[in-house]
Structure 1
Amino acid sequence: MAEHQGSRWLKPAALFVFALSGTAGLIYQSIWSQYLGLYLGHAAYAQSLVLAIFMGGMALGAWWASRRSLQWRNLLRAYAVVELVIGIAAALFHPIYLAATGFAYDSAFPAMPGGWAVQAFKWTSGALLILPQAVLLGTTFPLMSNGLMRRLRKEDGAILGGLYFTNSLGAAIGALVATFILLPAVGLPGAMRFGAVLNLVVAIAAWLLARSPEEVPAAAAPTAALHGRGGITRLLLVAAFITGATSFVYEIGWVRMLSLAFGSTVHAFELMLAAFIGGLAFGGLWIRKRIDGYAQPIRIGGFVQIGMGLAALASLVLYDRSFDWVAWFMKALSRSDGGYALYNIVTATVSMVLMAPAAFFAGMTLPLFTFALLRGGGGEASVGRIYAANTVGAIVGVLATVHFLIPILGLKLAMCASAAGDLVLGLVLLRRASTATTRTDGTYLGALVASGLALAVALVAARFDPDAMAGGVYRSGIRTISEQGFKVLFYRDGKTASVATRASRGGLVTISTNGKVDAGISMAPDGKPSADEITMVMAGVLPLLYNPHPRTAGVIGFGSGLTTHTLLGDPRLERVDTIEIEPAMVEGAKVFGKFVERAYTDPRSHIHIEDAKTYFATNRSRYDIVVAEPSNPWVSGVASLFSKEFYEFVPRHLQPGGIFVQWIQLYEINDELVASVAHALSSSFHDYRIYLSYDADMLIVARADGPLGDLHPEALADAGLKGLVERVDIASVDDIEVHRLGDRRSLEPLFDALSGRTTSDFHPTLSLEAPKTRFVGLAAYAIAGLPKADLPYRAAIAGLSLPPADRITDNPSYAFTGTVHRAARLASTLRTGHIGQGNADAEAIASALVLRDAVGSCDGDEKLDGRTIDAIVHVAGRTIPYMDTAAARELWNTPEWIHCTSQTKPVRAVLDIVAALARADWPVVQRDATALLGEKGEYLSVTSKDWLLRAAMLAAIAGGDYAAVAAIDEGVGRDVAGNGVTLAHRGYMLALADRKAAGEAPPRTQDASVH
């Protein structure tokens, strides 16, 4: 009697518990994808393996539970024990992962011959990391559903549908919670522990629900309906297999399709996954209250399969419109944090529009097929058998999609083939379930005609236009590349990404992955290079200049192939290995022809399709040079090539004295994230120097086992490199060194001021935050702005003096060199009053003319002191940091252009400070700038106060008076406002002074004997 009364709350309590179990399960799936992405080397491979093993393990667990359930008297208690064990395994997963992958890289891979053996070991060991938990997860649905059906003994279909709904809904929530809440808060290990706590709660709740034993049903007797001439068991198992396979073809296909519209970010992937699982959940909800009333569940299943195929085909036709939707929203949304939140809502909404209808039908299939087998007398084993067949189908669907269907057929035909499978299955089920009455009502014929017509329409109407798919609308807000002035030269859907090569009318050819341009080369007849070419050539040239005896080099990421081509221009190199994970990238870059030909034709060039870490470990490779040029870190899976763990791995594969070069962009990111990458690299490299190849790209040149030493410029004169370096205006050491930002000693305090975090694989702040900085359109303003600043930071802090302007090539792609030449023209205007030819800073020219009137010839007015001082500060800031010492001293210290000696006291004071700055008289700059700020003169504008404050702080650092820096900032600088960049530079100087005052803390590095 008590049990009967308890049944009122047993069902809702069990549904809630099973929803929590689904949440924990999808937290695991999401986090396992992150872990295995680090191990397998690409997020797409990891997602396919996790999906396959997740589903396969659940199939095995479901099959095993269905075989054993009749031997257990209390399935809910067994379920509680399983949930407890899953939680314990989750809590232990992180240390087990570290031990297993450490063994693979350090012992297993080096001992293997490479090739298939390494791949087999990597995929098998990756699978074994999650298979035990997946098997246990697979037992949960049969145990919970059979346990409930034993206790309630009615509405079996409603129980199945209800459990499927709540578990799937919990799973959709779990996918979102994992990525948007847990990963930012507690990282991968913390997310696994949170899932473990959920499992513990579920286990306790299930144990309490299972206080009394269940009534074990008798084993089902074989019936003619099941095993006779007209038996349906095999048909239902095959149907479950097919629908499992097609469902996951759709899921992977949709994710790849929508990545071209929304970008390949971790946020987008989880939103798409949640949309798919949400569709499954509501399919289960819809069927749960109807299923028990179906007289012919197989016939209903046939209609459902046809509906699933038709919905999938409709999504392909709608997909073409998604680029229009994204283009509209990109123009409508503000580029802000709030705008990014709305962008994610748009991503989720469009994902639901495309994915949810077919997923809704897919959510009905498992309960329907299970119920049909139960009604036929299959007994409790029906649940596990159908579930197992469905998940085995999912495994086949996942692996076939990633490794065969998409690479061979492309996205469109892969999806159409899957939809055709659903339509055929639906027609077979309708035919098998037909009766004498239904055979003549035209239903089957109508379904057949509708299916064929829909498939034909989709093949024609779903354009899958490369013009849109290659356009990167999520970045540009423009639907197609033709609207951007480009045309498609090459397009291919590869295993991990869709690769396109595009050409502009002006001759710029770019190569992109999932719409994100990774490299561009100008193939125009005028011979002018693109900005990307400077980066790629410098990435190859710099390590050749720092390593006097290079023999071997490894390049991570093929891109356009230009960096590999550049390295091969040095005859000293005997071998260059280029490691690229996507084969289509290597094929697409062939369009660049002669610009990258050595990468393809030089016998010293070897291209390997593999994950870089696996290749290095397997081949026990040790190089004189390693260059890392991955894609942008907001792309899902790429951030692991900017992490602390990656930088711990690289030195083990460098020869003594080996040089490592890391590229990172300064656009679509912020200063803090870039600084966190620099901190990660600092943990394993003894010394580094940083270059800006152009205004938005940064190259870090590092050495792990000692100081970098001097440049060896002989390589620049070699015939194989001479044409390349001349083309991009770095043909001399002077031209290269003007790109240098600083070294570890001078720049680490800046990174300390910008960020206290270190990028890590297991706390992936970079991959989580970079998508937002991309959307908002931020840049690392403080870092990129350092060489363009209005004070000589590079000279005073890093000791980087400039040669005369006539020894520096004016590179149009690098603003610093242009500013050097503009500074020389500005100085001429100040001296002569004439505006010279060439590009000029109009505002600075105007300020120079004001100075000539107000300061040079005593035409000033005390009422205009503020304007005059602003002009002095402005012109000083546009000349002194961009001139060699002699030129700056000549312009400001004993200037011929100042004929007047009766300036007002404030103007004279500022002129004296500027003159002291020009001759590097740091004590005078510090004393006089501090004193002038202390007078609180109303004639000083906010801009001038900020400049004088920073000048005083910089002078204190350059003069070695480190204790005074904070005193100046706290004293006269307390109320001095600044902008984001100048405030960051003030923080930089404070951090540098603190470090110097503390005795220059030793670099954050491991033991130098990392080799």
Structure 2
Amino acid sequence: MSPDTNHRHRHALLAIFVLSGFAGLIYQSIWSHYLGLFLGHAAYAQALVLAIFMGGMATGAAWIAHAGQRWRNLVRGYALIEAAIGVLGLLFHWIFTGVAAFSYDWLIPALGSPWAVDIARWGIAALLIFPQTILLGMTFPLMSGGLIRRFPGREGSLLGGLYFTNSIGAAIGALAAVFILLPWVGLPGAMVAAGILNFLVAALAWWLAREPEPVPVAPTEAKAAPEQRLLQNPLLRLVLFGTALSGAASFAYEIVWIRMLSMAVGSTMHAFELMLASFIAGIALGGLWVRNHADRTESPLRLVGWMQVGMGVAALVSLGVYANAFSWVGWLMGSLAKSDGGYALFNLGTATIAIAIMLPAAFFAGTTLPLFTVTLLREGLGERAIGRVYAWNTLGSIVGVFAAIHLLIPTLGLKLTLCVAAVLDIGIGLFLLRLQINSRHSMIRFAVAAGISAVALMVAVRIPYDPMKLASGVFRYGDSEIDAGTQKVVYYRDGKTSSVAVIAGFDGSANISTNGKPDAGIMVKDGGWPTSDEPTMTLAAALPLTMLDKPAHVGVIGFGSGMTTHTLLGDPRVKQVDTVEIEPAMVEGARLFGDRVGRAYTDPRSRIVIDDAKAFFAANPTKYDIVISEPSNPWISGVGTLFSKEFYQFVPTYLNENGLFVQWVQLYEINEELIGSIFNAMSPHFEDYAAWMTNGSDMLIVASPKGKLPKSDLNRLFQNPGPLKAELARLGITTQEILDFRKIADARMLRGIARLYNQLPPNSDYFPILGLYAPKSRYQGITAEAISTLPAQEAILLEASGIRLPLPLHMVPSKLAHFPADTMTWRARALLAELAGQLGTQLPDLLPARNLSPAILMREAARKACEQSWNPATSHQLSIRIREFSVLTNAFLPSSALRDVWSRRDWIPCKVTSPDIARTLSLMNAISTRDWNAMQDEGRKWFALPPQDSAIYRDYEDMALSALLLSLAHQDQWKELLEADEQIGLPEKSDNVYQLHRRLLRAMARDQNGPGLN
């Protein structure tokens, strides 16, 4: 083979290893999602996934180190292994779904005991990916051994080149998995894509390896001894233990950096893959550098010593870089537009921050494994050294993962865990350098390395690790630090899965946050006004309790502040509450809420379980009367599985015959299409459901898998002795009518909303819509206003749909201003009183005096119209004021209260002679008095007239059409509704509430599939 052909052949083999790394990281990323679904996202599950992956790689590498010596064409052996990986990749989804279904439906319930269930789950998870990971572990030793046989004398260059190409492919694969493949084809499609890549790599490698490899040079007899004798070789022991400890430190860095960066950039799926890609890119660059230096160095062991010291020092320096990350993210949040382009730049900016923190140490990490391997190859230990070093490095990585997650981080925290790993790396490096001291100059260099390391460690330990920054949630609002003038951190702990903080406000409130994202806020001070989160947490428990006569057993997913569990235990009918929480630090931190959540800790009926929810329910034989799902926000990586169609299919199997399921859904940092994806995932598995708003942006869905949803009745709570009556009264919920006033949708309307916003498929475990798209909504600060504003909208859609009525005048709405419709009710009552001249001094404190202006201005406009004989200008001005007054009162006052306003019209001091105003008043009278027949007649009359040039006519077109459509909807005349809408053909010129309701009513009318949302 000519030198040029030789060169091209070598580079072609290196190039296909890019594709191999690309496919390999797709597998690792997608397997993590799959096994996360099976094991849950608890810390032990995350560690186990990585341990299985690394353990399989180590096993494969160790086996091939021995068996590969007998193979005469390692590259073709590599091709066969790649093809086998491809076959398993193509079959994986089918195998996984069958095994998971068998496990959850039959095996786990049959096992019963928790330890047996855990062993079964872990064993099954290992078997699902262990064969593939063993094969993956063979690929690097086979390819590197084959190249070294074909191109002898360039071991360092070849190993560095392979490490670079494989790692750079892996970095690209990590990004492609989440940014391209998952949005495009989901988890199953990504596995297929990786499998096809394996076949392509196999075909190319088979073709390139047409010529046989030279017979390898056999190691000397002493060096070809059995493994037990070889391990007595001091150099071999040194290298293997060194590479194992180095691997442990490297993976500890990766875990710590990802956890730390999550507090600065957010715990999203995109952020995780960007951080992973940054780490692997650093390793790739290290491999590229060592490719050009390994063969030229006099002592690879001395060089790897310097690399180890460099890695440890770089890790310590990363703490100083990290200290500025919150300011940088705050700058990004303040500088970038809240648009699609702004989100792309935000991801680019956060990737740059991750690179600045992770890449230097990762660069040094990328040099160590090739250099350790070259050390043994130069000693004549043969190509078995490649597999040995690779195996011991991966075994060390497993130890590093478990030690970091289960021991170091919970005990020392993130910062000190990083310091411990750095000291380990520096210790390895200094030990290797000490062995190489053979002159005065080498002693000086050793002393310099030790001095630099000591200074770096002292500086790193003193770098502030300030909870006021860590808990700031800068990735949401751009504030890089909690305002010390209003709040202080009273609890902070780096737990196994997340970092938990409790922040106390100087006003007596407190909130608990996870990785900087507030999960719950409570007013701790006696006499203080409740926070806006409290109605959500309280009603999540109280609402289903009002629907059941004997709610004995309740399951709660997500501990949060503990208030939901606390509320449930205030009902003496409840016999047991099982609260499932992943992070122990969450339960520990919430104790600071004191008596507000005390029953969750002290009541003997409370059982707090640290586990994954799905795994717990599958192993627990208990059937529940109520299951409440109150996880964190669905933009957080992994949380979207608690809003998936597979989860909603799973939950009903753990409910009693008349059991109820409660789902909290955020309406902030999310858009209507994503909410529609949740509705479409949930609806097929429940026969009836309805939604309530607890404040301005939180919604609770109560669903019944069998039969009609029971009617809510507060007397079920109030007739029993207990504290719930007082606790609900503190939130302004004192009567059934006030509770019903918070209802915003029944099943028919939820189906209509889902049909209206069905641009995305149902959220699924295997097509994670929320994990992929919700982070962008979070960044853009989007609110699903079309849904969140339903209870405070001006048109009487909810009343026409039979969902809720306005509060009777004798009932006092809450003055907490949590629920916007309460404030709108106060305003409507004040306007009515002002128009009648009966307001006096009854204006509530929460309403400024300017809120009375619509009544005053309408009365003044009527006076002017009378004085000027109803000329067009004054009539039009009055029509504007009528509309303004009506939209602020119609939906928030009972029909009896508005009857005199539009029928007697005492506020108009003369006879109405304007035909346009007369028609307007007739329309208002029909709407405000809920005369559904009159609304239909007035609406049809409005459009039966010849086309009008009157400004008043045009101003009221949308209201007239709304009256017509609402009357038909109220009378279940859905076919006639569609016909009327089509016949009138009013163009949708704006996106106001009437146009929204029009589209929603059309969607409800077209829903011909009963309870399904197809």
Q: TM-score range by the shorter chain?
A: over 0.9
The aligned runs of 1:469-508 (5 Å cut-off) are 469-483=470-484, 485-508=486-509
Contact (CA 8 Å) 2:802, 2:970: kept in 1 or not? no
Residue identity in the other structure for 1:579: V
For residues 585 and 557 of structure 2, the distance between their equivalents in structure 1, rounded to whole angstroms, comes to: 16
The aligned runs of 1:693-842 (5 Å cut-off) are 693-714=694-715, 715-717=717-719, 718-756=721-759, 757-811=761-815, 812-832=817-837, 837-838=843-844, 839-840=846-847
Contact (CA 8 Å) 1:66, 1:383: kept in 2 or not? yes
What does residue 967 of structure 2 align with?
A: 955
Contact (CA 8 Å) 1:499, 1:514: kept in 2 or not? yes
Shifted more, 368-377 versus 922-931: the winner is 922-931
What does residue 881 of structure 2 align with?
A: 871
Residue identity in the other structure for 2:748: R
Deviation at 1:853, TM superposition (A): 3.0
Residue identity in the other structure for 1:915: N
* Match among 289, 293, 313 for residue 292 of structure 2: 289
Contact (CA 8 Å) 1:497, 1:513: kept in 2 or not? yes
Instruction: Give the alignment's TM-score, normalised by structure 1.
Output: 0.95
What does residue 50 of structure 2 align with?
A: 51
Structure 2 residue matching 1:607: 3-state secondary structure? strand
Contact (CA 8 Å) 2:831, 2:854: kept in 1 or not? no
What does residue 200 of structure 2 align with?
A: 201
Deviation at 1:691, TM superposition (A): 0.5
Contact (CA 8 Å) 1:284, 1:364: kept in 2 or not? yes
For residues 46 and 239 of structure 1, the distance between their equivalents in structure 2, rounded to whole angstroms, comes to: 28
Contact (CA 8 Å) 1:24, 1:174: kept in 2 or not? yes
Deviation at 1:127, TM superposition (A): 2.1
* Match among 875, 888, 894 for residue 904 of structure 2: 894
Deviation at 1:850, TM superposition (A): 3.1
The aligned runs of 1:338-417 (5 Å cut-off) are 338-417=341-420
Contact (CA 8 Å) 1:70, 1:219: kept in 2 or not? no
Contact (CA 8 Å) 1:684, 1:1005: kept in 2 or not? no
For residues 763 and 866 of structure 1, the distance between their equivalents in structure 2, rounded to whole angstroms, comes to: 54
Residue identity in the other structure for 2:866: C
Contact (CA 8 Å) 1:219, 1:379: kept in 2 or not? yes
What does residue 456 of structure 2 align with?
A: 454
Contact (CA 8 Å) 1:643, 1:680: kept in 2 or not? yes
The aligned runs of 1:20-419 (5 Å cut-off) are 20-42=19-41, 45-222=44-221, 231-419=234-422
Matched, 1:1001 2:1003: no
What does residue 990 of structure 1 align with?
A: 1002
For residues 151 and 937 of structure 2, the distance between their equivalents in structure 1, rounded to whole angstroms, comes to: 88
| CA spacing shift, 1:330–1:366, aligned 2, 3 Å | same
Deviation at 1:1002, TM superposition (A): 1.9
Deviation at 1:234, TM superposition (A): 1.0
* Match among 420, 425, 428 for residue 423 of structure 2: 420
| CA spacing shift, 1:904–1:850, aligned 2, 3 Å | farther
For residues 941 and 592 of structure 1, the distance between their equivalents in structure 2, rounded to whole angstroms, comes to: 57
Contact (CA 8 Å) 1:158, 1:290: kept in 2 or not? yes
Structure 1 residue matching 2:806: 3-state secondary structure? coil
For residues 955 and 132 of structure 2, the distance between their equivalents in structure 1, rounded to whole angstroms, comes to: 62
For residues 545 and 163 of structure 2, the distance between their equivalents in structure 1, rounded to whole angstroms, comes to: 60
| CA spacing shift, 1:229–1:949, aligned 2, 3 Å | closer
Deviation at 1:332, TM superposition (A): 1.3
| CA spacing shift, 1:898–1:589, aligned 2, 3 Å | same
Structure 1 residue matching 2:262: 3-state secondary structure? helix
For residues 533 and 426 of structure 2, the distance between their equivalents in structure 1, rounded to whole angstroms, comes to: 48
Query: How many residue pairs align between the two structures?
Result: 999
For residues 761 and 70 of structure 1, the distance between their equivalents in structure 2, rounded to whole angstroms, comes to: 43
What does residue 645 of structure 1 align with?
A: 646
What does residue 591 of structure 2 align with?
A: 590
For residues 989 and 843 of structure 1, the distance between their equivalents in structure 2, rounded to whole angstroms, comes to: 34
Deviation at 1:247, TM superposition (A): 0.5
For residues 265 and 278 of structure 2, the distance between their equivalents in structure 1, rounded to whole angstroms, comes to: 14
Structure 2 residue matching 1:719: 3-state secondary structure? coil
1:405-460 per-residue CA deviation (whole Å, 9 max, x = no partner) reads 10111101111000000000001111122324655x41112212222222122111
Matched, 1:690 2:699: no
Residue identity in the other structure for 1:910: T
For residues 90 and 558 of structure 2, the distance between their equivalents in structure 1, rounded to whole angstroms, comes to: 35
What does residue 547 of structure 2 align with?
A: 546
For residues 709 and 228 of structure 1, the distance between their equivalents in structure 2, rounded to whole angstroms, comes to: 71
Residue identity in the other structure for 1:235: L
For residues 329 and 603 of structure 2, the distance between their equivalents in structure 1, rounded to whole angstroms, comes to: 43
For residues 336 and 842 of structure 1, the distance between their equivalents in structure 2, rounded to whole angstroms, comes to: 37
| CA spacing shift, 1:427–1:952, aligned 2, 3 Å | same
Matched, 1:853 2:860: yes
Contact (CA 8 Å) 2:548, 2:710: kept in 1 or not? no
Residue identity in the other structure for 1:719: G
For residues 755 and 805 of structure 1, the distance between their equivalents in structure 2, rounded to whole angstroms, comes to: 39
Instruction: Give the alignment's TM-score, normalised by structure 2.
Output: 0.95
Contact (CA 8 Å) 2:284, 2:363: kept in 1 or not? yes
Structure 2: runs of 5 or more not aligned: none
Shifted more, 478-487 versus 350-359: the winner is 478-487
CA-based RMSD: 2.2
For residues 716 and 635 of structure 1, the distance between their equivalents in structure 2, rounded to whole angstroms, comes to: 38
Deviation at 1:576, TM superposition (A): 1.0
Shifted more, 891-900 versus 784-793: the winner is 891-900
| CA spacing shift, 1:222–1:948, aligned 2, 3 Å | farther
| CA spacing shift, 1:923–1:445, aligned 2, 3 Å | same
What does residue 1009 of structure 1 align with?
A: none
For residues 286 and 732 of structure 1, the distance between their equivalents in structure 2, rounded to whole angstroms, comes to: 73
Structure 1 residue matching 2:550: 3-state secondary structure? coil
For residues 297 and 706 of structure 2, the distance between their equivalents in structure 1, rounded to whole angstroms, comes to: 74
Shifted more, 933-942 versus 903-912: the winner is 933-942
Structure 1 residue matching 2:397: 3-state secondary structure? helix
For residues 708 and 622 of structure 1, the distance between their equivalents in structure 2, rounded to whole angstroms, comes to: 19
For residues 799 and 239 of structure 1, the distance between their equivalents in structure 2, rounded to whole angstroms, comes to: 69
Shifted more, 103-112 versus 574-583: the winner is 103-112
Residue identity in the other structure for 2:690: R
Contact (CA 8 Å) 1:509, 1:522: kept in 2 or not? yes
Residue identity in the other structure for 2:520: A
Aligned sequence identity (%): 45
For residues 790 and 926 of structure 1, the distance between their equivalents in structure 2, rounded to whole angstroms, comes to: 18
Residue identity in the other structure for 2:895: T
| CA spacing shift, 1:361–1:625, aligned 2, 3 Å | same
Deviation at 1:841, TM superposition (A): 7.5
Structure 2 residue matching 1:798: 3-state secondary structure? coil
Contact (CA 8 Å) 2:309, 2:425: kept in 1 or not? yes
What does residue 464 of structure 2 align with?
A: 463
For residues 659 and 153 of structure 1, the distance between their equivalents in structure 2, rounded to whole angstroms, comes to: 70
For residues 271 and 948 of structure 2, the distance between their equivalents in structure 1, rounded to whole angstroms, comes to: 53
Shifted more, 654-663 versus 832-841: the winner is 832-841
Residue identity in the other structure for 2:604: P
Contact (CA 8 Å) 1:822, 1:841: kept in 2 or not? no
* Match among 876, 882, 886 for residue 892 of structure 2: 882
For residues 833 and 960 of structure 2, the distance between their equivalents in structure 1, rounded to whole angstroms, comes to: 25
1:686-734 per-residue CA deviation (whole Å, 9 max, x = no partner) reads 1112110111110011111111122232213432211211111112111
* Match among 893, 914, 918 for residue 908 of structure 1: 918
Matched, 1:978 2:984: no
Contact (CA 8 Å) 2:579, 2:608: kept in 1 or not? yes
What does residue 570 of structure 2 align with?
A: 569
Residue identity in the other structure for 1:921: D
Contact (CA 8 Å) 2:713, 2:736: kept in 1 or not? no
Deviation at 1:356, TM superposition (A): 0.1
Contact (CA 8 Å) 2:680, 2:1013: kept in 1 or not? no
Residue identity in the other structure for 2:854: S
1:551-590 per-residue CA deviation (whole Å, 9 max, x = no partner) reads 1111111111111111111111111111111110110010
What does residue 17 of structure 2 align with?
A: 18
